[in-house]
Structure 1
Amino acid sequence: MEKKAHVAVFPFPFGSHPTALLHLVQRLAAAAPAVQFSYFNTTNSNQKVFSKMNLNGYDNIRSYNIDDGVPEGHVFSGNPVEAIELFIKATPLNFRKRLEELVEATGLKVTCLLTDAFLGFSADIAEEMGIPWVAFWTAGPTALSLHMYFDLIHRNLGLTGRTQNSEQTLDFLPGMSAIRASDLPEELQSLDKPDRPFSYLLQTMGLVVRRSSTVVLNSFDGIDPLVTADLKSKLKKVLNIGPFSLPPCQDQSGCLSWLDRHNAASVAYISFGSMLTPPPNELAALAEALEEKKVPYLWSFREDLKGHLLEGFFKRTSSRGKVVAWAPQSQILAHSSVGVFITHCGWNSMVESITGGVPMICRPFFGDQMINRRILADVWQIGIGLEGDVFAKAGTMNALDIVLSKENWNKMRENIGVFKESATKAVAPNGSSTENFKSFIDIVINISS
């Protein structure tokens, strides 16, 4: 019987991670139709992902639900990390069990493991099965490098909390001279704490990722060359395959036609990702600043529980504003009427803003977002941060004035243009990302022992 290539896919089921990995799997499935892809994810995450995407036309992708670790009848406290920690405690047994059930039921052995890099246990599973592990890193190269340098950071900074050595830079690391101790995510601020599963997961990942056969990133050559070169010297194989070209989404809320009615570079597009929105006092400050400055806005507002706080603002400004529960972000950022992106500064959003040519105002929350804010504001100069990294009325009005002023906007657009050109070249025929993706396909197809 001829051996068939079978790729088992494990996403980290929170935030934009599962959607990004499924988009990657769709690209692979289209390019390698003879390969079978099994996508394992929690029931709740699968429902969210497939409510926006479908697998019509992808006969070689199958999705499977796994246990999310949430006890029956569990009442959540409201802490967003709680669901993550319950999932981590159920992992990797939930993956192992479901994977074994699938192989036994189908007789189709797994030939490659493609997982979110967060899931470092994949190294052990792949090793036990004698197959390659490909790690997908959803953030930027700088964040990955910082996790890999965890021990050296602590030896140099002696961190025990965010307040200590906060202004000291990481100039002892390649390409990190602008990054400050205060920019580091909480997971890099303190030593291993097994009682804090998420921090422990990421600290472990920084060590384990070296065991992967390949690391793929939604990045492109030229965006961070010093850091990327250092990663390539420490990992077996690093493939920049971005920026991802996402399939056009149906604009059910009429965002694009609404933008068509506005002047060039006049609209503020606002979105803070799928995990968090600012607290009520900051939402109010942002709304007051937009209202006083009379800036047209398109706001992707996903949290129903907080939406009522701004009902009055939305009604008063309905003639120049639009609020939607979901928006086709990449298409919006490519629209000529969008002049600024007010964002949490997640990596995928930042890359989409670069490819759309839109300057940013950043309000980071956690993870790599503070790092991204530092790089785009101080190094690349394609956007700005907020004073204290929070929305206050005066500070937000000032930020809008700075970014939307003709001189500053043109300068930021010019700086973004350099990266946009690199991105365009990378995904062109024979471009670096295009060639790297071909190499990626070869890795997935190669089933020789």
Structure 2
Amino acid sequence: MKAKSTTIPMLHILVVPLPLQGHINPMFQFSKRLASKGLRVTLVTISSDTHHEPIETQLSLVKIESIYAASEEADKINAENKMQWLQNILSKRLPELISKQESIGYPISCIVYDSAMTWALDMAKGLGIAGASFFTHSCAVGTVYYNVHQGVLSVPLEEGPILLPGLPLLEPHDLPSFINDPGSYPSFLKLVVGRFSNITDADWIFWNSFDCLEQEVVSWMRTRWPIKTIGPTLPSMYLDKRLEDDRDYGFNLFTPNIDTCIKWLESKDTGTVVYVSFGSMANLEEKQMEELALGLKRSKTNFLWVVRESEIQKLPSNFEEQTSEKGLVVNWCPQLQVLAHKAVGCFMTHCGWNSTLEALSSGVPMVAMPQWTDQLTNAKFVEDEWKVGVRVKVDQMGIVTKEEIDA
């Protein structure tokens, strides 16, 4: 008689990020780390290409499954309704994907989902699968949203400073824009606060932060939930070097000008370049773009400025030609490589959480110019708590002037 096999099936983790660059990057990096420990990891992406080929990921560790969604359909949906559109697609296709994986001998053990997708936890539980919520912003910001969810912090805000557990004293302008200006994006406010609606049902709660950065607030959060800080989720070569050749995120929704940027930086002296970037989503008003351009032009500093193609028309006429001796404007760049370059001495940033973690990990001081969402809170911590940068001042119209930039 044949002995019964005692082989333990390999754990199979299904990772489901929001299809946004700032959400894909940390969850993909986390996927690489899990896969390096011997787990089977499959990352779900949204593709508009019906003939999409599987992506060869670094180390060939992470499997990619693309779910088709017509780009024409997505383009017609405004930002506030896109989450419902995404839920409609994924709630139908994910169970099919899970069934397919089981049929080929790789049943899913756990779904790691972006914290905005609370419905994914309900789906996982309904299928008898464990669920883990992944938060892509800071623990401090999460605490603010949680206190709004619990009714501890009322919206609209009352006047005066705000004291929340685990956090320093905050002014209204230090809070995420969805909180200090709730009328701006009411559906987004509902979304970010709603992340806590079923959080106690999650088997694990992962946070892209690290204990020594947010010690007080992390300690407070652990009195409520079993959270695990797993950040910063940067490629291994910029941290512990445990994953060989893990030098970049490997998942770019934009095409970086790698050779152009690095070659230009090589021509500059150590610490003489200001790197300017406001991420993949921020849209500066034309007046603000003009003031920023004029401030950089009149300064005596070299600058590398990322201006997305959709924003380039906001630059003053002939700006690039007039500043070509000391400045370079590109539509996207390899940010980690840029921040790690010896020529870069300062980072003018919107203070998106990923950019903030990258600057902290690279040891590059920041000029914080937050635009919306959690960036305002991140800027507060950059200047007052971690003391690794300064926050720009705005005029009565909310504009950062050329004089402020050149100061």
- Fold conserved between structures, TM > 0.5: yes
Q: Note the 1:145-160 alignment, pairs <5 A.
A: 145-151=143-149, 154-156=151-153, 158-160=154-156
- Output the CA distance in 1 between the equivalents of 2:50 and 2:189: 24
List per-residue Cα deviations over 1:232-263 (Å, max 9, x = no partner): 11112323332523533586333223222222
> Is the 8 Å Cα contact of residues 299 and 324 (structure 1) preserved in structure 2?
yes
- Output the CA distance in 2 between the equivalents of 1:180 and 1:207: 26
Aligned alpha-carbon RMSD (Å): 3.2
Q: Secondary structure at the match of 2:212?
A: coil
Quote the residue 2:64 is aligned against.
Answer: 62
The amino acid of 1:129's aligned partner reads L
Q: Note the 1:294-305 alignment, pairs <5 A.
A: 294-305=300-311
Q: How many matched pairs?
A: 379
The amino acid of 2:67's aligned partner reads N
> Which consecutive residues of structure 2, in runs of 5 or more, have no partner in the other structure?
237-245, 249-255
> Is the 8 Å Cα contact of residues 114 and 135 (structure 1) preserved in structure 2?
yes
- Output the CA distance in 1 between the equivalents of 2:95 and 2:178: 32
Q: Note the 1:268-347 alignment, pairs <5 A.
A: 268-307=274-313, 309-310=315-316, 312-347=318-353
> Is the 8 Å Cα contact of residues 220 and 243 (structure 1) preserved in structure 2?
no
List per-residue Cα deviations over 1:272-319 (Å, max 9, x = no partner): 111123211111111111111121001122234434634511111111
The answer to whether structure 1 residue 242 and structure 2 residue 232 are counterparts is yes
Identity %: 24
The answer to whether structure 1 residue 42 and structure 2 residue 76 are counterparts is no
The answer to whether structure 1 residue 182 and structure 2 residue 166 are counterparts is no
> Which consecutive residues of structure 1, in runs of 5 or more, have no partner in the other structure?
77-81, 399-449
- Output the CA distance in 2 between the equivalents of 1:283 and 1:274: 16
Structure 1 39/321 Cα, relative in aligned 2: closer, same or farther at 3 Å?
same
List per-residue Cα deviations over 1:66-109 (Å, max 9, x = no partner): 547x7749646xxxxx23x3322234332221122223334143
Alpha-carbon shift at residue 24 of structure 1 (Å): 1.9
- Output the CA distance in 2 between the equivalents of 1:225 and 1:176: 10
Quote the residue 1:202 is aligned against.
Answer: 192
Quote the residue 1:233 is aligned against.
Answer: 223
| More helix, by proportion | 1
Quote the residue 2:401 is aligned against.
Answer: 392
Structure 1 333/27 Cα, relative in aligned 2: closer, same or farther at 3 Å?
same
Structure 1 46/382 Cα, relative in aligned 2: closer, same or farther at 3 Å?
farther
Structure 1 280/44 Cα, relative in aligned 2: closer, same or farther at 3 Å?
farther
Quote the residue 1:88 is aligned against.
Answer: 83
TM-score, normalised to structure 2, is 0.83
Q: Secondary structure at the match of 1:314?
A: helix
- Output the CA distance in 1 between the equivalents of 2:183 and 2:68: 27
List per-residue Cα deviations over 1:176-201 (Å, max 9, x = no partner): 223222222243358899x9443222
> Is the 8 Å Cα contact of residues 207 and 227 (structure 2) preserved in structure 1?
no
List per-residue Cα deviations over 1:325-369 (Å, max 9, x = no partner): 221111211222212111110111111111211111122111110
The answer to whether structure 1 residue 380 and structure 2 residue 386 are counterparts is yes
Alpha-carbon shift at residue 174 of structure 1 (Å): 2.2
Alpha-carbon shift at residue 230 of structure 1 (Å): 0.8
Alpha-carbon shift at residue 27 of structure 1 (Å): 2.6
The amino acid of 2:336's aligned partner reads S
Q: Secondary structure at the match of 2:60?
A: coil
Quote the residue 1:417 is aligned against.
Answer: none
Q: Which moved more, 1:300-309 or 1:125-134?
A: 300-309
Q: Which moved more, 1:268-277 or 1:99-108?
A: 99-108
1:142 aligned residue (137, 140, 156):
140
Structure 1 300/133 Cα, relative in aligned 2: closer, same or farther at 3 Å?
same
The amino acid of 1:278's aligned partner reads L
> Is the 8 Å Cα contact of residues 188 and 203 (structure 1) preserved in structure 2?
no
- Output the CA distance in 1 between the equivalents of 2:75 and 2:378: 35
Quote the residue 1:212 is aligned against.
Answer: 202
Q: Secondary structure at the match of 1:371?
A: helix
Alpha-carbon shift at residue 18 of structure 1 (Å): 1.5
> Is the 8 Å Cα contact of residues 30 and 233 (structure 2) preserved in structure 1?
no
Alpha-carbon shift at residue 118 of structure 1 (Å): 1.6
The amino acid of 2:156's aligned partner reads T
| Structure 1 stretches of 4+ moved >6 Å | 45-48, 190-193
